[in-house]
Amino acid sequence: MDVIFNLIVVTYNEHLKNILRHILDSYQILTEIEDKPGDLAKIEKEMLKINGFIKVVSNKIDIDKIPRSEFGIVKTKFAQYLENYSFEKEIKTMAPLYSNDMSRVKNMRLKILESLKNKHMIDDVKELMENL
């Protein structure tokens, strides 16, 4: 029975680690965007990926199946992020009017990055991933 439990925990850990890796990859892409024409679509794509993966972790990953205490902290921060930040509507409104205004595109990208850094959420994600 312990072997099955350990296998489930390893699988759950690997699943969570894979999701966290996707979040960090998209975050890294956002930090590297150079704010050129057409980048608003890239920003939206990466932001939607991050939000999707955060929703998966928040709704599908059972806190009791991840033995790391940091996971509860990250899951709580994810829930707060989803509750407090939403850029989809703002980007949809902005796209037809300002998609070629590089200062507005940069400002949107920086607002998204700032929201992800709020309360050290991204740092906690990196730390959790290293510890899994």
Domain boundaries, the chain: 2-131
Looking at domain 2-131, its CATH class is: mainly alpha
pLDDT per residue as tens, the chain (132 positions)? 454 444 455 577 888 899 999 999 999 999 999 998 889 999 999 999 999 999 999 988 888 877 777 888 999 999 999 999 999 999 999 899 888 899 999 999 999 999 999 999 999 999 999 988
Residue 8: predicted pLDDT: 52
Cβ atoms 20, 41 nearer than 8 A:
no
**Start-end of H helices in the chain:** 2-32, 39-60, 70-84, 88-98, 102-117, 121-131
CB atoms within 10 A of CB 63: 12
Give the N- to C-terminal CA distance of the chain in Å, as an integer. 22
Residue 13: predicted pLDDT: 82
Residue 10: predicted pLDDT: 57
CB neighbour list of residue 131: distance below 8 Å, 6 or more residues apart: 68, 70
Q: Report how far residue 22's alpha carbon sits from residue 123's, in angstroms, rounded to the nearest whole number.
A: 15
Cβ atoms 19, 72 nearer than 8 A:
no
Q: Report how far residue 100's alpha carbon sits from residue 20's, in angstroms, rounded to the nearest whole number.
A: 32
